Amino acid sequence: MLRELLERDPAWKVLPGMAILAALAWPFISTQSAANPQLFGTLCFTCLMVGRLNQRATVFEAGLPIPGRQFVAARLVALLAVLWLPALLAMGETLVLRGWKDAIPLLELAASSSLVVLVTQSNRIREADLPAWPGYAAAV
């Protein structure tokens, strides 16, 4: 079931594009810019919008005989993948080109974006009346 849901998540469609973008763009952005909160904010926002955080789908999902937690899990995995795979690609590049110190801001960026993703998705967890522990895990 999880696999089926994952296959259908629209986030996969943007993954190749994101990966390529990250791979191409990152080497041109200096370490300082990476710490720039504005860049961080824009990146997060773009990630989330493009990864389709559309809440209205829940009414349609509500009619399907799939446990709510599987929906949320599939969404989380897909969104995190969209975040991390390009990030890892970019980090790999940076490692090779500049050394591992420069790769750290990238790691921080990816981690913070993951947190934002988890927090925004935790709202959906609540809607689906699931146990609260994923929300706590996200807070950690």
Closer to another protein by CB, 67 or 92: give it: 67
- For the record, the structure tokens of 47 come out as 């990630």
Which residues ranging from 102 to 131 are in contact with another protein (CB under 8 A)? 129
**Residue 10 near residue 54 (C-beta atoms within 8 A):** no
Binding residue (CB under 8 A) for another protein from 30, 36, 42, 58 = 58
- Does the CA dihedral 96-40-54-2 come out positive or negative? positive
Closest contact distance (angstroms) between CB of 62 and another protein is 4
Q: Which stretch binds another protein (CB under 8 A): 54-62, 73-81, 82-90, 96-104?
A: 54-62
Rg (CA), the chain: 16
Q: Which is nearer to another protein, 27 or 135 (CB)?
A: 135
| Cα 122 versus chain centre, distance | 13
Select from 3, 28, 32, 63 the one that contacts another protein (CB under 8 A): 63
Which distant-in-sequence residues (6+ apart) come within 8 Å of 87 by Cβ?
22, 106, 107, 109, 110
Instruction: Summarize as ranges the residues that interact with another protein (CB under 8 A).
Output: 4, 8, 10, 13, 54, 56-60, 62-68, 129
